[in-house]
Chains A and B, each alone.
Chain A
Amino acid sequence: MRKFEYLRPTSVEEAVAAASRPGAAYLAGGTNLLDLMKTGAAGPELLVDVTRLPGLDAIEPLTDGGLRVGAMVRNADVARDAAMRRNFPMVVEALLSGASGQLRNMATVGGNLLQRTRCAWFQTPEAACGRRDPGAGCDARDQAGRSHAVLGWSERCVAANPSDFCVPLAALDAQVEIAGPGGRRDVALRELHRLPGDTPHVETALAPGELIVALRLPGAGAGFGRFSRYLKVRERTSYAFALVSAAAALRVEGGAILEARLALGGVAARPWRAVEAEAALIGAAPDAGAFRAAAEAALEAARPSGDNAFKIELARRTAARALALAAAGAPERMPALPASPFADIGAPAHA
């Protein structure tokens, strides 16, 4: 690990001033950054520890029925929050499907939103990566596979965003509160992560020194209640990143869909909100035909970036199944295997 300076400021203003320096990075849970520093894929000169900044560790109700979550709340504590479980069950399901009990105790809301891609070439300093080093090209381009994007990728970068948490957040129109050298501003979660285009190193909408201080889940999303699910397909039942995942929410009245939300994970450099699929569902009966048609619409622009054409059909099936799960409603108690396709099958089928 390269040498760095360590600073633990006591106010947001002090943190922002320190981190506006070139070569500085914020340190929260450290579960991603420390790993990258050990492999040499990241080498900040200054770490600004934001874990003890005041006022960033609470979950509060909003007047519109939504929730505001401080950026330093740990993933495990978000998942345990009673209001979160009641109003946004697919957010809890997504969080509990990610990482391990230890990592969820460490990882923060802000850090999860800003976690880097798990593309093996990005993580390996010896490989050319334009996301890591501006203009460096992309060694993954000719070897892209199961972990890479099938939507929104470019010749310069085929990486996918690995976050589970961000997928339901994109579906729920979450807002990200940011403090920076120029003051406070909000960014829609759907606009936080950039598609690579010709500038894959511009990963997010954040300017140097800007710090995520909170996340807002608008009350409109709470209306879906238990009719919202997260489904994640991975290579082992637990403790693995998604090949493909889907967050789906439905509001059905009188046998017709009044409102629908759908977002996909593991398929692009950002959590992929499928607005065309949502539009296709409005007014339809909540049945397999409608869900399949919506899934077709969601993946219409998809194309393989390498040996990963299977992810396109896998994503269609995952989306259609997540919609069917949302229509049926989440069970009272979180399944033993959160978000797993094996959740309802039980131990003997997979053990």
Chain B
Amino acid sequence: MTPRLTMTVNGKAREIALDDPRVTLLDLLRDRLGLTGAKKGCDRGQCGACTVLVDGRRVNACLTLAVGLDGADVLTVEGLAQGGALHPVQEAFIAHDGFQCGFCTPGQIMSAVALIAEGEAGDDPERIREGMSGNLCRCGAHRGIVDAVLDAQRRMAGDAQGRMGKDGERAA
């Protein structure tokens, strides 16, 4: 039997026929949907390069079976920018040189977006380092990464305050 899944990927509804239950979310995104932003580093949940958001929460796509995700809302790095405008976290990574080779960057950015939404790190570099420890960077760009997350968080908090009067919602 070929299971049929309905999924929202980067805001678009998708109908997916899976011929094999072994397909991970990472392989589905990369090999079948052409979304190669999420990277296959270790494929064992150790490096974080495959980090995407499922229903708003960051997960390792390499350890998630696609077949279990019927009805899920998936966000990858390709879905972050709005029109031509980069997401504040993307802008901050560029501004603070939060990468070198770039392989881990999509996972770092998705993890940072979720960390900021979780709202527990505050303005503390130590808490950001701890919160980002599931994303390895073999080039050692961590200093720029932490600066980028701090900066993006401040800017997004500022934006959210500015908008509070209008819609009362926190920026995600």
- On A, residues with C-beta under 8 Å from B are 1, 3-6, 8, 27, 30-31, 34-35, 38-39, 47, 49, 51, 76, 99-103, 105-106, 237-239, 336-338, 346-347, 351
SS of B interface (majority): mixed
Subset of 19 A-B contacts with CB under 8 Å: A1-B22, A6-B67, A30-B63, A30-B68, A31-B63, A47-B21, A47-B65, A76-B57, A100-B48, A101-B114, A101-B115, A102-B48, A102-B60, A102-B111, A102-B134, A103-B45, A105-B59, A239-B134, A337-B126
How far is the CB of B31 from the nearest CB of chain A, in Å?
15
Per-residue A-contact encoding for B37-79, CB less than 8 Å = 1, 0 else: 0000001110010010000011110011101100000000000
Q: Which of B107-165 contact A (CB under 8 A)?
A: 111, 114-115, 118, 124-127, 129-135
Going nearest first, the 5 A-B pairs with the smallest beta carbon separation are A100-B134, A238-B133, A6-B21, A336-B126, A239-B133
Q: Which residues of B contact A99 (CB under 8 A)?
A: 134
Most central of B48, B59, B114 by chain A CB within 10 Å: B59
Known: A76-B57, A336-B126; 11 extra A-B contacts, CB below 8 A, are A1-B22, A6-B3, A6-B67, A8-B68, A30-B68, A47-B65, A100-B48, A100-B135, A102-B134, A106-B60, A336-B130
**In the complex the two chains form, what is the Cα distance from A105 to B53 in whole Å?**
10
Chain B, interface size: which category? Answer: 20 to 34
Interface residue from A1, A8, A101 paired with B134 (Cβ < 8 Å) = A101
**In the complex the two chains form, what is the Cα distance from A27 to B45 in whole Å?**
16
How far is the CB of A242 from the nearest CB of chain B, in Å?
15
Q: Which residues of A contact B65 (CB under 8 A)?
A: 6, 27, 30, 34, 47, 49
Interface residue from B22, B57, B59, B68 paired with A27 (Cβ < 8 Å) = B68
**In the complex the two chains form, what is the Cα distance from A53 to B172 in whole Å?**
29
- On B, residues with C-beta under 8 Å from A are 3, 20-22, 24, 43-45, 48, 51, 57-60, 63-65, 67-68, 111, 114-115, 118, 124-127, 129-135
**In the complex the two chains form, what is the Cα distance from A337 to B121 in whole Å?**
11
Q: In the complex the two chains form, is B63's CB within 8 Å of A4's CB? A: no
Q: Which residues of B contact A337 (CB under 8 A)?
A: 126, 130
* CB-nearest residue of chain B to A7: B21
Most central of B22, B45, B48 by chain A CB within 10 Å: B45
Q: A3-B22, A101-B115, A102-B51 are in contact. Are A49 and B45 (CB under 8 A)?
A: no
Q: In the complex the two chains form, is B63's CB within 8 Å of A238's CB? A: no
Interface residue from B44, B64, B124 paired with A336 (Cβ < 8 Å) = B124
* CB-nearest residue of chain B to A347: B126
How far is the CB of B13 from the nearest CB of chain A, in Å?
20
Q: Which residues of B contact A3 (CB under 8 A)?
A: 20, 22
Q: In the complex the two chains form, is A238's CB within 8 Å of B129's CB? A: yes
Q: In the complex the two chains form, is B126's CB within 8 Å of A30's CB? A: no
* CB-nearest residue of chain B to A99: B134
**In the complex the two chains form, what is the Cα distance from A203 to B67 in whole Å?**
29
Q: In the complex the two chains form, is A103's CB within 8 Å of B21's CB? A: no
How far is the CB of B26 from the nearest CB of chain A, in Å?
11
* CB-nearest residue of chain B to A3: B22
**In the complex the two chains form, what is the Cα distance from A8 to B131 in whole Å?**
32
How far is the CB of B50 from the nearest CB of chain A, in Å?
9
**In the complex the two chains form, what is the Cα distance from A106 to B64 in whole Å?**
9
Q: Which residues of B contact A336 (CB under 8 A)?
A: 124, 126-127, 130
Q: A102-B51, A336-B126, A337-B126 are in contact. Are A31 and B21 (CB under 8 A)?
A: no
Q: In the complex the two chains form, is A238's CB within 8 Å of B130's CB? A: yes
Q: A6-B21, A30-B64 are in contact. Are A103 and B134 (CB under 8 A)?
A: yes
* CB-nearest residue of chain B to A1: B22
Q: In the complex the two chains form, is A101's CB within 8 Å of B111's CB? A: yes
How far is the CB of A110 from the nearest CB of chain B, in Å?
15
Q: Which residues of B contact A347 (CB under 8 A)?
A: 125-126, 129
**In the complex the two chains form, what is the Cα distance from A351 to B43 in whole Å?**
28
